[in-house]
Amino acid sequence: MSISLRNVRKDYDQQTKVLEKVSAEVQTGEFFVIVGPSGCGKSTLLRMIAGLTPITDGEVRINDRVVNELPPKARKLTMVFQNYALYPFLSVWDNVAFGLKARKLSQSDVQNRVNNALKMVNLTDFKNRKPRELSGGQRQRVALARAVASDADICLMDEPLSNLDAQLRIRMRQEIYNLQRKLGLTLIYVTHDQVEAMTMADHIMVLNDQHVQQIGTPAEIYQHPANEFVAQFFGTPQINILPAKRSAENSHLLTVGSNDMQVALNEEVPADQLRIGVRPDELTISRADSVDSNAVVKNTEFLGNETIVYATLNSGDNVRAVLPGQVNFRGYEPIKVQVGSHLLFFNNDGERIGLTKEEAVHA
Amino acid sequence: MLKSPATHSSTAPVTSDKAKSKAERSESGFWLNAKDKYYAWIFLGPSLLILGVFIFYPMFRTLYLSLFLTNTVGKPTVFVGLSNYINLLTSADYLSSLGVTMVYVLAVTVITIALGLILANYASKQLAGIGIFRTLFSATMGVSVSVAAIFWLFIFNPSTGFLALVSNWLHLPQINWLTDPGWAMLAVIITTVWMNLGFTFLILLGAMQSVPTTLYEAASIEGATPRYQLFHITIPMISPTLFFVSIITLIEGFKSFGLIDLMTKGGPTNATNMLVYRIYKDAFYSGNYAQASAESLILTVIIAIFTLIQFKVLEKRVNY
Amino acid sequence: MEMVAKQKLPQKILNYVLLIILTAVVLGPFLIGLWTSLLPTMDIAKGNFLSLHISLTNYVDAFQKTPILQYLGNSLWISTLTTIAQLIFCSMSAYAFVFLRFRGRKVLFILFLATMMLPFEAEIIPNFMTVKAMGLLNTYSAMIVPFLTSAFGTFMLRQSFLQMPDELKEAADIEGLGHFQFYWKIVMPYNRISLITLGAYGFLGAWNQYLWPMLTTFSNAFRPVQNGLRQLQSEETFNDWGMIQATAAIVVIPTLIVLFVGQHYFKSGMNEGAVK
């Protein structure tokens, strides 16, 4: 059950464009996450795959068959909604059975599927309850059980965890992941939460501004983001993006801020101005006297196993650094900030350019 | 005993994160759009037919008849233009009916709302067993027009009635409630108010209970007396409901027929000859269908105006 | 804290006294009616209001000498059929206004709203002629057919349907439910509270009809109870106050029971249909 999107476009009218040139391949049995900030069109994309919203242009294929004109029912898929779309007047058991009965499965088949699905999500003891008698997590599991019980191999989920509290979200994340693996579902999962995307996905599609920013595995997306937006969207605290200039004396040398730091490259710096991205855990901080320092500490947040240090470079740029363990700084204490070896480079359009840092620069 | 309106709370609210635009909403289920128009006929057909035959057609037919003279079976004979209306609006008799109806409607509305407020105010106090009082206060909602008429006909009966008995005991002069033109209107007003009271009370109580208690708590801290709270918190807060009940009571008042027929038959000497009763008499007793049609249209206009006012004011809460 | 929140005792007693007085005013006519329905007519006529000759004779007479049971049966039948029809037709038209896309939807809805401005009382002349032409005078149908649907009911249910989450419709689309299935299996059960409320209103409305049945029925076989009571008063029983009061009591007691049991629904309906 592979799904393929080819140049999919969605306009509501001449003025309101929602999505443009969306292309992607989703393999059978894959956990595919569509992630982006609110309003990026990710839910609309999911609804187009489901057949709930018409496609303005382009093709959606399921198993190599164009389904643009097929009604949702004929696409053989299930969908888990953000608010679960449970029928309040039906028991848990009947909620799970509802779609199967609508598809006219035999009675024994319905029995088996529903009972299995409820067992799988640990709701067997609750099968006679009404949705209002369940907790949020249990309602979520009823919605999952509906997807599990279905004979469809494609499952679409639209922010299924966003109505749950933080702890429950982590637990349900694992349950959904396990179910997907166990059943071999082809799962397309929409979320605005980068952590959900990173922890569950085989492949992630990052959407922003009506366009696909990048498609890749979590590691690719994190390590080789296509642009500044993707780099900033993933990872907490957010990546530091700092302006940098080609040094006048050495074309291999970049100066960051107002000469606060220097970075030597293996190749010639391709432009006068660049931006470098440094993950907060790639920064090192050492105490320094005011002569040697290039920054002052603004604030620290102790998180138990690590400390986040907020500092301002002499150039006025703010940086975030994550240091292991507990580190104590006074306010406005002068420090020296240095970059590690994993750096990202972006051109002025925000696109990443492939440059590498020369090791052992500083003498 | 009285809870706030039931809501279906079993599904979690949709967070506004991806609040869908109107355009997207209207597209849900778009696959069947092409066939929707056929379904629309099936789903709307029965209601359209009934409303067409018994609401729309009669309105135009009434308008039509009101422009003619009619024979004894209600067939139009001679076109007379607006003269039926002119006759009516220059007839002292009809104008007095109009006036009588206005007096009745206004009195009923004012008294019903005032009493309803008093009942609701006391019934919203936090006291043990208050639920029983709330139930009892709403009791007249279950009283139909003919039952109310029987109860009150006995109370007003000049020879054996309850009021006659009481005034006997107290050595007060006897009042011929229903046969004295000066008193008949009051008798009808009292009966109508009593019938309306249960409904009005229940709505006002509901509105009062939905006023946030923090408002009262804040007022108490600042030392406001209960009376001050009633006039400066409760009544302003429930004013939309007050408005709604007033309009409903007004409209129902204009449509009054049953009590008049049962208690006074429009008398004595037309003292309670209200608009609908008049239409009925002119059409089905005197056979003057044309004139009755003109009266019907005037009534329609009056009621339509009040309904429109109601729609206008409620528009903000009603999504079309 | 508790001490402060609680009312002082004299204040409390005063409140209860006032509540009891108000109750007496509201319930007075009931109580007078019920009391006299237990007294012999002779005592009532003589003004012997505190007579102790209490009995159920008036009730026995009412059942035996008057067609009150026939009237009640007629009303029950008419009201039940009207209610069922309104539930079906109003929910169907409300469904069309919420879940179907078709040209002229808005215009039709405004047309429906407009009918709420046109009082039935002002349309009795043509309606009487229509019913007469259809040969329905003096039948149950005359009292049911004009009220098979209602604009108010459609409007109230539409408000209720609009509050259903969109996802229910989307889930139904994915499962392939057609309009009839969605209407019957999801929309109707989901909105059952509103339907019960509308049912209660429809029933009460039909039960309280007065003018229209008076015009269209002229025999006890079809006469509903409101007009039946009028008939009894106009007949020879007019001065038999005890029995008249008994008939009134027979009519009002079941309504009161229904009302007290169902008042929760009435109230939520008022809020849903109108104020909210």
Of residues B49 and C57, more confidence is placed in B49
The CA distance from C253 to C236, in Å, is 25
Lookup: tokens for A225: 């983001």
Residue C6 pLDDT level (bands cut at 50, 70, 90): low
Return the partners of chain A (3 or more C-beta pairs < 8 Å): B, C
Q: Is A262 on the interface with B (CB under 8 A)?
A: no
Q: Based on the structure, what is the number of domains in chain B?
A: 2
The nearest CA of chain C is from the CA of B158 a distance in Å of: 11
DSSP lists the bridge partners of residue A242 as A276
Return the partners of chain B (3 or more C-beta pairs < 8 Å): A, C
First-last CA distance in chain C = 35
Characterise B131 by phi-psi region: left (phi > 0), alpha (psi -120 to 50), beta (else): alpha
The nearest CA of chain A is from the CA of C60 a distance in Å of: 46
Helices (H), chain C: 2-5, 9-37, 41-45, 57-65, 68-99, 105-115, 124-133, 140-144, 151-162, 166-175, 179-181, 188-190, 192-207, 211-216, 225-234, 241-270
The CA distance from A218 to A196, in Å, is 11
Helix (H, G, I), strand (E, B) or coil at A248: coil
Helices (H), A27-165: 42-50, 92-102, 107-120, 136-149
DSSP lists the bridge partners of residue A255 as A245, A262
Helix (H, G, I), strand (E, B) or coil at B275: helix
Report the sign of the C-alpha dihedral through residues A290, A294, A299, A300, in that order.
negative
Cβ–Cβ gap A139/B12 under 8 Å: yes
Lookup: tokens for B191: 């009966």
Closest CA to C200 of C248, C148, C269, C139: C269
Helix (H, G, I), strand (E, B) or coil at C128: helix
Residues of chain C with C-beta less than 8 angstroms from the C-beta of A89: 189-190, 192
Residues of chain B with C-beta less than 8 angstroms from the C-beta of A85: 11
Residues of chain A with C-beta less than 8 angstroms from the C-beta of C167: 81-85
The least confident of A269-278, B43-52, C156-165, C211-220 is: A269-278
Q: What would the mean pLDDT of C151-155 be, rounded to a whole number?
A: 91
Burial B271-300 (b: 16+ CB within 10 A, else e): bbbbbbbbbbbbbbeeebbbbbbbbbbbbb
**Could you say which residues from 64 to 83 on chain A have a Cβ atom under 8 Å away from some Cβ of chain B?**
71-72, 82-83
Of residues C164 and A358, more confidence is placed in C164
The distance of Cα B101 from the centroid of its chain, to the nearest Å, equals: 14
In contact, C142 and C136? CB cutoff 8 Å: yes
Residue appearing with tokens 């190599």? A64
The CA distance from A328 to C120, in Å, is 83
The distance of Cα A38 from the centroid of its chain, to the nearest Å, equals: 12
Predicted-assembly ipTM surpassing the 0.90 threshold:
no
Q: Is C177 on the interface with A (CB under 8 A)?
A: yes
For residue A130, how many other CB atoms are within 10 A of its CB? Answer: 17
**Residues B41 and B106 grouped into a single domain:** no
Cβ–Cβ gap A87/C189 under 8 Å: yes
Spatial CB neighbours of A221, under 8 Å, sequence gap ≥ 6: A198, A204, A206, A214, A230, A234
Residue B78 lies in a domain: no
Residues, chain C = 276
Closest CA to B162 of B152, B171, B170, B172: B152
Residues of chain A with C-beta less than 8 angstroms from the C-beta of C189: 87, 89-90
CA angle B183, B265, B163 (to 5 degrees): 40
Q: For residue A186, which phi and psi values (nearest 5 degrees)?
A: -90, 110
In contact, A1 and A173? CB cutoff 8 Å: no
In contact, B118 and B133? CB cutoff 8 Å: no
Closest CA to A191 of A182, A177, C176: A177
In contact, B183 and B195? CB cutoff 8 Å: no
Cβ–Cβ gap C175/A81 under 8 Å: no
Lookup: tokens for A42: 């990710």
Query: Domain range for residue B313?
Result: 83-317
Give the CATH number for residue B227. 1.10.3720.10
Q: Is A168 on the interface with B (CB under 8 A)?
A: no
pLDDT at A177 (0 to 100): 93
DSSP state letters, C136-192: -TTSHHHHHGGGS--HHHHHHHHHHHHTS-HHHHHHHHHHT--HHHIIIIIIHHHTH
Spatial CB neighbours of B281, under 8 Å, sequence gap ≥ 6: B266, B273
Amino acid making up residue C224: P
User: For chain C, which residues make up each domain, given as ranges?
Assistant: 67-221+256-273
Strand A186-191 versus strand A203-208 pairing type: unpaired
Residues of chain A with C-beta less than 8 angstroms from the C-beta of B9: 132
Of residues B241 and C188, more confidence is placed in C188
pTM (whole model) above 0.80: yes
Closest CA to C228 of C73, C98, C46: C73
Domain A238-346 = CATH 2.40.50.140 = yes
The CA distance from A241 to A232, in Å, is 8
For residue B317, how many other CB atoms are within 10 A of its CB? Answer: 11
Residues of chain C with C-beta less than 8 angstroms from the C-beta of A85: 165, 167-168, 170-171
Give chain A's residues under pLDDT 70. 359-363
User: For chain A, which residues make up each domain, given as ranges?
Assistant: 3-231, 238-346
Characterise A328 by phi-psi region: left (phi > 0), alpha (psi -120 to 50), beta (else): beta
Helix (H, G, I), strand (E, B) or coil at B28: coil
Amino acid making up residue A221: I
What CATH number was assigned to the domain covering residues A3-231? 3.40.50.300
In contact, A95 and A142? CB cutoff 8 Å: yes
pLDDT at C54 (0 to 100): 81
pLDDT at A139 (0 to 100): 92
DSSP-assigned letter for residue B271:
T
pLDDT over 90 for what percent of chain C?
39
Helix (H, G, I), strand (E, B) or coil at A181: helix
Mean pLDDT of all residues belonging to chain C: 86
CA angle A274, A279, A281 (to 5 degrees): 145
The CA distance from B227 to A59, in Å, is 70
3-state helix, strand and coil shares in percent for chain B, rounded to the nearest 5: 70, 0, 25
Report the sign of the C-alpha dihedral through residues B236, C23, C6, C264, in that order.
negative
pLDDT over 70 for what percent of chain C?
91
pLDDT tens-digit readout, A72-116: 888 889 999 988 889 999 999 999 999 888 888 899 999 999 999
What CATH number was assigned to the domain covering residues C67-221+256-273? 1.10.3720.10
Residues of chain C with C-beta less than 8 angstroms from the C-beta of B197: 26
Cβ–Cβ gap B206/C271 under 8 Å: yes
For residue B269, how many other CB atoms are within 10 A of its CB? Answer: 10
**Residues B177 and B213 grouped into a single domain:** yes
Give chain B's residues under pLDDT 70. 1-33, 315-320
pLDDT at B72 (0 to 100): 80
In contact, B204 and B116? CB cutoff 8 Å: yes
Would the pLDDT of C132 be above 60?
A: yes
The CA distance from A47 to A65, in Å, is 18
Closest CA to A240 of A293, A280, A198, A300: A280
- Report in angstroms the alpha-carbon separations of B291 from A151, B67, B73, B180, C232: 71, 9, 13, 29, 32
**Residues B217 and B306 grouped into a single domain:** yes
Cβ–Cβ gap B9/A132 under 8 Å: yes
Residue appearing with tokens 């109508």? B192
Spatial CB neighbours of A57, under 8 Å, sequence gap ≥ 6: A7, A8, A9
Which of B13-17, B294-298, C230-234, C269-273 reaches the highest mean pLDDT? B294-298
DSSP state letters, B116-176: HHHHHHHHTS--TTHHHHHHHHTGGGG--HHHHHHHHHHHH-TTTSHHHHHHHHTTPPP--
Residues of chain C with C-beta less than 8 angstroms from the C-beta of A190: none
Cβ–Cβ gap A131/B23 under 8 Å: no
pLDDT at A94 (0 to 100): 93
Q: Is C214 on the interface with A (CB under 8 A)?
A: no
The CA distance from A184 to A198, in Å, is 19
Q: Of C44, C46, C255, which is closest to B144 when you measure between CB atoms?
A: C255
Q: For residue A79, which phi and psi values (nearest 5 degrees)?
A: -140, 135
Residue B73 lies in a domain: no
